[in-house]
Amino acid sequence: MNTLIDNVKQLMEEAAKIMKLDPNVVRFLESPKKILQISIPVQMDDGSVKLFDGYRVQHSDVLGPFKGGLRYAPNVDLSEIKGLATLMTFKCAVAGIPYGGGKGGIRCDTHTLSVRELERLTRGFVRYTFEIIGPQHDIPAPDMYTTPQIMAWFMDEYSTLSGEYEPGVVTGKPLVIGGSLGRETATAQGGAYILRDYLEKQNHKTDQIRIIVQGFGNAGHYAAQILHGMGYKIVGASDSKGGVYHEGGLDPFSLMEAKKTKGRVDECGVGKKVSNETLLTLPCDILVLAAMENQITKENAAEIKAKTILELANGPITPEADKILEKNKVVIIPDILANSGGVTVSYFEWVQNNTDFYWSEAEVQARLKDLLLTAFRDIVEIHNNHHSTLRQAAFIRAFKRLSEAIRLRGILESSK
């Protein structure tokens, strides 16, 4: 199976071909501007010292400072981080916010680390990346297995090293130290706004829409709750340990309670237990992918019964699977738009930090909805004009902003 970065490059080339983009622009954006690979020594609670591999990839800053999450996971590697950093460049460009793309990661298992070990690891990462990060240069954010508390340690260590209070160096912080209202639910909320807009234009009746949510982390469980609150029926859900399906509908709050108390959503006491893989292929109208990359591949794409897929995870569908789903008339609302609510409200948080003036949650939600629906409706227009998929249209919209910035800044002579 191709890596995430291979998949992203393939998607870039498809969109560039449709819009007849200068090939030099594509070549320029296929490789990161800078890659930092580090080994972080951490004193463990038992007195031993352990080394952790870490990465920060700065893909592009043609539209503004590098922006992208910091993930802590056992399978983190450079190829994955490069792919995610590249996606972030296009995600920021398609949403219309003044950021470039970056991504960071540390290979570790947070479940095996104490709170103090996690704090030492985070502060070590800041010390080792201090020279390339900053509120006007590279702004990390939470990602897989990183939390507002980790962002608080990050901000504190950076402020200590710089000698100034710098809340804007990271986003996703707790409210009391410069976080933004609406940030925790932003990825799910943004995706829900876009999905509802799409469904309303298709004249679907809300109470007849059946939704399966794969992945019950931050994005997945908030998506289930928000969509349930909008009147849609959640008929399936899963986490890393398994899934549950019930045609009569599931209560997302009960699912989250089961996850908190019993460690897994399929212990909610309702419905049929199924594997994560099986859940993807069960009957529904909307499949929300909120877990990991490469969940739908050429091996299982033909079995998908959903008519619409909302990608809240990064790269959950491979390019080969895209082709099969397109042939089967499955509409995909692509990740670089569908999950851009998180980076959009991160941008709002950064603006609030820079101005030292904070917005109400209603203002955050109104700005988020307006920005993402403007982008989505433009993508639909591009999709209609080019007879492309929505994913290709999203990449085209992003390429238009990126190539114009490259031209105006004079970065490539051939693009003048």
Q: Which residues are known catalytic residues? A: 103
Contact 1, 318 (CB under 8 A): yes
On whether the CB atoms of residues 326 and 389 are closer than 8 A, the answer is yes
**Which residue type, as a one-letter code, is found at position 364?**
V
Q: Which amino acid is at 64?
A: G
Q: Residues with Cβ < 8 Å from 224, sequence gap 6 or more?
A: 211, 213, 216, 234, 237, 252, 255, 288
Number of helical H runs and strand E runs in the chain = 14, 12
**Residues whose CB is less than 8 angstroms from the CB of residue 251 and which lie 6 or more positions away in sequence, other chains included:** 228, 234, 268, 270
Q: Are 29 and 63 in contact (CB under 8 A)?
A: no
DSSP H helical ranges for 173-236: 186-201, 218-229
99 phi, psi to nearest 5 deg: -130, 155
What are the φ/ψ torsions at residue 341 (nearest 5 degrees)? -60, -35
φ, ψ for residue 329, nearest 5 deg: 60, 35
d(CA 232, CA 209): 6
Q: Coil, strand, or helix at residue 197?
A: helix
Residues listed for the chain: 416
Q: How far apart are the first and last CA of the chain?
A: 38
Q: Is the dihedral of CA 125, 131, 133, 138 positive or negative?
A: negative
Residue 67 burial (10 A CB sphere; 0-12, 13-18, 19+): buried
CB 386, CB 18: distance < 8 Å: yes
CA–CA separation, 249 and 371 (whole Å): 32
